[in-house]
Amino acid sequence: MSTATDLAQRARESSVTPWVRDNVGLFLVLPGLFLFSAFMFYPVLYLLYLSFTKATNAPPASIHSGNEQFIGLENYVSILADPSFWNSMGVTWLFVATSVVLKLAFGIAVALVLTGERVRGQRFLRSLVILPMGLPAVFSITVWSKIFDNARYSLSNKILLELGLEKANWMTERWLAFFTYNVTEVWLAYPFIVIITVSALQDVPEELHDAARVDGAGYFHRFRHVTLPAIRRPVLFGGILTSAASFQQFLIPFIFNDGGPGSANSLLIHYGYTEAFGQTPPAYGRAASIMMLTLLFIGAFMWLNVKKGKLAEGVDER
């Protein structure tokens, strides 16, 4: 009898042990998956739920009372018919396009300088260039908001006056304010592009440049036909990541001029925030639907860029 029990025990152990050994990775990531679900999936699901309600801070539809009034797709229909939403959508996409182009151009240019053969003190310069990454974003944005203040003797207007030009109303003229958004966004993100580009440039085989020189290619021809193709994928990857960050930008319009003048420069995240907290009573349900649409657009944008940019090539799809 004991022999049969021992055999059964051994059979169970022999079947369980290989399974545990083969799935040990799953057990290692389970705590991380739990935390990720708690801090990511649950808020998104709750946001989705709120988007189908008319939740405000006033009874009977209170975000705190648990008796939010269910209204189905009414929030989405209302938003998609609202010109303010489409203005915010257009401004956001324009901001993404212009800021990403400027960030890539400036970041690549700085990286080329930092890796130039004639540049001395490269380590010091690289540490200096990435300094903005060590500063809190709210601090940097606040400083830039004071640089572009409408006051006559703000730094930007003082420079204009020294050049014999008129002072500019940076915060109250729409496209001037939009320009200041771009300048600040470039300052915040260009160190990331520089780091990626410098790393990519160091991996470009010097033999390719030597061969191009032998063929009589100048600097710009070598950059276009040798350097740029070699660094395309990492730079494209950095551009996609920083474009997603631009899409989610909130602090710049919030600190500069609250998306002004009026709401002309209100980016999507700021627009949703204003719907939730910038009016009485707050429209939590409407704001939640704006954020869900934003999340949808960001997800589609990232997927298309990764797919079209072929950044997933070589990844095992098992």
The CB density around residue 112, as the number of other CB atoms within 10 Å, is: 17
Predicted confidence (pLDDT) per residue in 26-67, tens digit? 777 788 878 877 788 888 888 888 888 887 765 544 455 555
Q: Could you report the per-residue pLDDT of 123-180, keeping only the tens digit for each? A: 777 778 888 888 899 999 999 999 999 888 889 999 999 888 888 999 999 999 999 9
Determine the distance from the C-alpha atom of residue 52 to the mean position of all C-alpha atoms in its chain, rounded to a whole number.
27
- Contact status, residue 285 vs residue 58, Cβ threshold 8 Å: no
Q: What is the mean pLDDT of residues 305-313?
A: 64
> pLDDT at position 29, please?
79
pTM above 0.85, yes or no: no
CA–CA separation, 257 and 279 (whole Å): 17
